Amino acid sequence: MASGWRGILGFDYGIVQAPLGPDISGPELAAAVANAGAIGLLRLPDWPAPDRVRELIRKTRSLTSRPFGAAIILAFPHEENLRVVLEEKLAVLQVYWGEFPRERVEEAHRAGVKVLHQVLAIASRSAVTDASTLLNCCYACAC
């Protein structure tokens, strides 16, 4: 088992699978990535769909015994889907395109869920560094 944040999260490698969309980053991909020792992420729907979210999580659990997580776009309605992630106690919640205040991070931590906050630019990082997130991800992109 790895040390540092990888060890805290229960992953072998410092690789985070990009959440590519609900139809791409589903249970099969997230489980395969988790089984390989990296952070597999389900990309949750952009609309309230708590029953579907629970179904996706349980399907993923049937495919892996390793920890995995889910990704939520904060700019879309997400409260019901977030509630399910916390109830199901996923290892990781990745949030992006919006603010995730300290209170929400603390709520996730109380549920045993670690929070990764994705930002698109280093300048955006200051908005999330005070939010007690475990890791701030900044992806390079060519726009």
Instruction: Give the domain CATH number at 94.
Output: 3.20.20.70
Residue 72 lies in a domain: yes
In a domain, 55, yes or no: yes
What stretches in the chain show pLDDT beneath 50? 124-126, 129-131, 134-143
Cα radius of gyration rounded to whole Å, the chain:
14
Q: Decide if 143 is inside a domain.
A: no
Domain hosting 124: range is 4-138
Residue-level pLDDT at 129: 47
pLDDT at 139: 47
Q: Report the pLDDT value the prediction gives residue 117, as an integer from 0 to 100.
A: 81
In the chain, the number of structural domains is 1
Confidence (pLDDT) at 2 = 59
* 122 within domain boundaries: yes
Longest Cα separation, the chain: 39
Beta strands in 100-139 (DSSP E): 114-119, 135-138
Residue 34 counted as domain residue:
yes
Six-digit token pair at 77? Answer: 């309605």
For residue 128, how many C-alpha atoms fall within 13 Å in the half-sphere facing its CB? 26
- Residue 45 maps to a domain: yes
| pLDDT at residue 72, as a whole number | 94
Q: What is the pLDDT of residue 123?
A: 52
- pTM here is 0.81
Residue type, 45: P
Angle of helix 79-87 versus helix 50-63 axis, rounded to 10: 40
